[in-house]
Amino acid sequence: MRRFFYLTTFILFTTFSFAQSKAYQVKVSGKGQPIVFLPGFTCPGSIWDHTISNLKDNYQTHQFTYAGFGGVPEIELPWYGTLADEISAYIEDNNLKNVTIIGHSMGGMLAIDIAAKLPKRVKKMVLVDALPNIREIIMPQVPVEQIVFDNPYNNQMIAASDSALRVTAGYMAMGMSNQTSHHQELIDYILQSDRKTYVYGYTELLKLDLKEKLKELDTETLILGADFPTKEAVLPNFESQYENLKKKEIKIATNSKHFIMYDQPEWFYQEVNNFLD
C-alpha cells in the first residue's frame, strides 16, 4: 500500500506576469537572482506560493505549471521530454543566469535533466522528495522493458469514472501528506488533470532513469527527503540513488510524507533559505 501511495504519488517585473508555451504556463514575479520552481505530478505552480512568500531575500521567481495539469491544456504524449526541452529553452531564451531550480517529486527529475542540459546556467538545485529512478524503489522487480503504456492498470484508470477516481485520489492524498487540511487540494489536482496525461504521464516517469546523468552534474544540490515510513527505511534509498552526484547534501524531514512543504513548512523554509544564502 505504501508503494501504491508513492506510485500515484517548476524578464524582470516588480509585480508578476504570465507566459505560456504549449508545454507549460509560467508565472514570473519579483526581482533578483532567478529561481525556477517546478511542481510535482498533477500539481500547479501555485503549490510554491507559500514557499516564495517565506523566502528571506529577494528573488525573481518562475513558477511553472505543466501541460495537462492546473488548467493548462494537454499536449501530445509522451510529454516529459518536451517539458524538459521547453523549460530549458525558456531559461536560455530569457538569458537566466546563476539559476536555482527547486523541484518537488517529478519537478526534481526535471531539475536534473535541465541542469544537465544547461550546466553553465544552473548553479544550484533543491530536490524535494525526488528520486532519479522511482521505478527502482516502488517496482524493484520490474525491468524497464516491462513498463508499457498499454497495460491493464492504465486501461482501467483511463476508463474509470470520475467518482471512482475521486475515491482513489482520496487514498493517495492521505498517503502524501499528514495535513488533512491539504487533502482536498491534492484530490482536486488529480481530478482536474487531463486523464491521459495523468495516466500515461506517470508511466513515462516510471520509465526514466536519470542516475547516470547525475555523473555529468557539478551542481550544488540540497536533497530534502521525507521520513515516511521511517528515516531508516528511506535514507539508504536517497544515498544509493544519488551516489553519482558529487556536490550534494541529503537531509530528512521528520514526521513528514511526500509534501514536505505542507507537513514541515518551517523546517522546509529554513533549509531552503540557508541553502540559498
Q: Print burial letters for 162-184: b (CB count within 10 Å at least 16), e (below 16).
A: eeebeeebeebbebbbbbeebbe
Look-up of cell digits 495539469: 69
Q: Is residue 256 part of a domain?
A: yes
The number of folded domains in the chain is 1
Q: What mean pLDDT do residues 180-188 have?
A: 98
Longest pairwise C-alpha distance within the chain? 51
Does pLDDT of 7 surpass 80? no
CATH code assigned at 66: 3.40.50.1820
pLDDT of residue 16: 44
Q: How large a percentage of the chain has pLDDT more than 70?
A: 92
Within a domain: residue 264? yes
Give me the chain's average pLDDT, please.
93
Closest listed residue to residue 252, CA positions, set 168, 127, 157:
127
Mean pLDDT over 190-201 rounds to: 98
Give the angle 129-221-87 at the CA atoms, nearest 5°: 80
Q: Examine residue 48 and state whether it is found in any structural domain, yes or no.
A: yes
Within a domain: residue 227?
Answer: yes
pLDDT grade for 19, boundaries at 50, 70 and 90 = low
Query: For residue 243, what pLDDT is reported?
Result: 98
Residue 2: per-residue pLDDT: 43
pLDDT average, residue stretch 36-57: 98
pTM of the model: 0.92
What local confidence, expressed as pLDDT, does residue 10 receive? Answer: 34
Which residues are CB-contacts of 146 (< 8 A; sequence separation ≥ 6)? none
pLDDT band at 176, cuts 50/70/90?
Answer: very high
Nearest CA among 204, 208, 40 for reference residue 137 = 208
The per-residue pLDDT for 12 is: 31
In-domain check, residue 171: no
The DSSP code for 230 is: -
Query: Does residue 13 carry a pLDDT above 90?
Result: no
Contacts 24+ apart (CB under 8 A), 252-255: 252/224, 252/225, 252/226, 252/227, 253/224, 253/225, 253/226, 253/227, 254/227, 255/178, 255/227
Whether residue 192 is contained in a domain is answered as no
**Taking the C-alpha atoms of 31, 35, 40 and 41 in order, what is their torsion angle to the nearest 10 degrees?**
80
Quick check: is 115 in a domain?
Answer: yes
Q: Which residue has the cell 524578464?
A: 11
Give the residue-averaged pLDDT of 169-189.
98
C-alpha span between 237 and 130 (Å, rounded): 11
The boundaries of the domain holding residue 34 are 22-132+209-274
Mind listing the pLDDT tens digit for each residue in 236-253?
A: 999 999 999 999 999 999
pLDDT of 99 > 90? The answer is: yes
pLDDT band at 8 (very low <50, low <70, confident <90, very high): very low
Contacts of 151 (CB under 8 A, 6+ apart): none
**Tens digit of pLDDT for each residue in 209-225?**
999 999 999 999 999 99
